[in-house]
Amino acid sequence: MNKFYKRFVFLILLVLVISGIVIYSTVDINTLQNLDKFQPWSIVLAVLAVSLGMFFDGSRLMHMVKISNEKITLYQAVQVVFGNYFLALLTPGATGGAVAQLMFLRHAGVPTGKATVLVIVRTLLSIFFLVLCMPFIFLHDEGILPGVSNTTLMGITLTAFVVILVIVIGARRGYLDYVVMKVTKGMKNQRRRKVFAFYRDTKCAISLLSKAPKCMLLVFAESGLNLLCIYAIVPCLLLGLGVTDADWYTVMGRMIFLNMLLYFTPTPGGSGVAEGGFVYLFSETVPAGTVGIIAVCWRLIAEYIPFLIGLYYTLTVFGRDFLNRQLNK
Q: What is the pLDDT of residues 141-155, one digit of tens each?
A: 877 877 778 888 888
Spans in the chain with pLDDT lower than 50: 1
How many CA atoms lie within 13 Å of 302's alpha carbon, on the beta-carbon side?
24
How far apart, in whole angstroms, are the C-alpha atoms of residue 272 and residue 103?
Answer: 28
Confidence (pLDDT) at 92: 59
SS3 assignment for 223-278: HHHHHHHHHCHHHHHHHHCCCCCCCHHHHHHHHHHHHHHHCCCCCHHHCCHHHHHH
| Residue 1: predicted pLDDT | 47
* Cα-to-chain-centroid distance, residue 322: 25
- pLDDT recorded at residue 193: 82
Q: pLDDT tens for residues 266-289? A: 777 778 888 999 999 998 888 888
Give the pLDDT score at 234: 94
Taking the C-alpha atoms of residue 182 and residue 294, their distance in angstroms, rounded to an integer, is: 49
Amino acid 300: pLDDT = 93
- Dist. CA 290–CA 126, nearest whole Å: 30
Residue 62 CA to residue 216 CA, distance in Å, equals 12
CA separation for the pair 194, 116 (Å, rounded): 13
